[in-house]
Amino acid sequence: MQGAREHQFMTEAARCYHANDVDGAEELCSQVLRRNQHSVQAHELAGLIALKKQQWSKAKQHYRWCIEHDPSDPRFVYLLAKVDTAERAYDQAIKRFNEVLRLDPEYQPALSWKAMVLERQGRFDEARAIVEPFVQRGGEDAEMAEVYAKLETHAGRLEPVIQVVERQEARTDLKPLSRQILGFCKGKALEKAGKHDAAFSAYEQANAAIGAMFDPQAYVQLVDRLIDAFSASRMASLPRGDASPVPVFIAGMPRSGTTLVEQIIDRHPDAYGASEITNLEAIARDLPQLIGSETPWPECVAELVQRPAEGLGRQYVRNVQRMARAAKRIVNKSLENYKLLGLVNLLLPASRIIHCRRDVLDNCVSCYLSPLMPPKHAYAFDLRHIAIVYRQYERLMRHWADVLDIEVLEISYENLIADTDRWTREIIDFCGLEWDDGCLEPHKSGRVAESLSYDQVRQPIYDSSVGRWRRFEAHLGPLREELARAE
């Protein structure tokens, strides 16, 4: 590919990537790499795309190629460390960030991300030592501002959070994603200060920063297709796959208590919480090719036969067991699970499914007040869209209740908070594990939860999130209207 044409392709690929058209960016990058395998720019962007799509090994391949091509450039080691961070390999990430800083002690992105990892690990003093000098002289970047805001909010010092966020918001070059994340930091600080109207305004501005596109009609059609593809008659006729008892799937809307339930199980010495892994989503996405079908997902499930069902089930189990070979139960809490329970039933019929529910207003409001990311959560930036998705989630869960032959344990977030002992024992018993007292103290696991709830799970179970929607009741008219309409 000639230089001018390659530059044109890469410029368009970068534009697609920053507009959240990840598939478009990936196709353009692939075209460049097919014609020029030595394009550093294409490898770098392809790595970013793989990182956004949670394809960790693919991202690493691209960045390692870049490092081999130019080992003196700290940017590529830095990007590889970001993949380590995404994979929860935090100690390895810290080592790589330190390697970057040996190459260039002033490389601020590595300092920022090292501080972010330290904060996630609860190493607050070390994180503060990195970011505070920059903040004090007004030289922090957006990531440092985020870390500083979290540290100050955790310490109960709220006014400095608002000041540093507003300093960042005044920047004309602040990226939309940073504007969103910092807006949520500001909203959280204002909410903790009891300034609920101002907090809601900050949350609104944060949600408006991304400009995510969501098609409610297409979402309803997806649920229609899932219900048709996994009809009762078809489920009765299709084969069942691997009978391993290892997999546990937690299903539910975002912010419904899925992380808390995972941490409870993870505290058991015979269990492992794998967090929001995408193994099952990858099988669903690739199912047409995997079974030799020209029919798209989910309709292709009608062509599933015995041997592929068993093989794909075994493949899933092998892949998750690499994370914790000694574990008797391995928990997948992907937020896509509630759409894939029919596939779970077919490929892994001996698995356990736990369905987490939460009060509808609390659940929807919490989605709106949390920095959920597009494209998977493009609905979360608009109260009406959240209501539509919530009603479709309820509709799909009612369908699964009618057609699955796997038992499902339903856990109410409110009940779990109010009677933790009883429901924790129910969860552990349902998983087929002997009781262990440590499960009553999920905050002592020592693990870092890879979700928006990572800070909450460090704390003993608390009830302050129950009824949170009441703080913002004056602003919830659109949500209530759409919930009533969608019933």
CATH class of the 216-486 domain in this structure: alpha beta
Question: What is the pLDDT confidence band of residue 18, given thresholds at 50, 70 and 90?
Answer: confident
Q: What is the pTM of this model?
A: 0.87
**Tokens representing residue 481 in the block:** 């209207």
- pLDDT tens across 200-259, in order? 999 999 999 987 789 999 999 999 999 999 999 999 999 999 999 999 999 999 999 999
Q: Is the pLDDT of residue 5 over 90?
A: no
- pLDDT tens across 194-207, in order? 999 999 999 999 99
Q: Is the pLDDT of residue 451 over 50?
A: no
* C-alpha span between 317 and 1 (Å, rounded): 42
* C-alpha span between 108 and 140 (Å, rounded): 9
Residue 369, class by beta-carbon neighbours within 10 Å (0-12 exposed, 13-18 middle, 19+ buried)?
Answer: buried
Residue 206, class by beta-carbon neighbours within 10 Å (0-12 exposed, 13-18 middle, 19+ buried)?
Answer: buried
Contact between residue 254 and residue 377 where contact means Cβ atoms under 8 Å apart: yes
Mean pLDDT, the chain, as a whole number? 93
- pLDDT tens across 288-337, in order? 999 999 999 999 999 999 999 999 999 999 999 999 999 999 999 999 99
The length of the chain is 487
Cα dihedral: 28, 30, 36, 41 (round 10): 70
| Peptide bond just before 375 cis, omega within 30 deg | yes
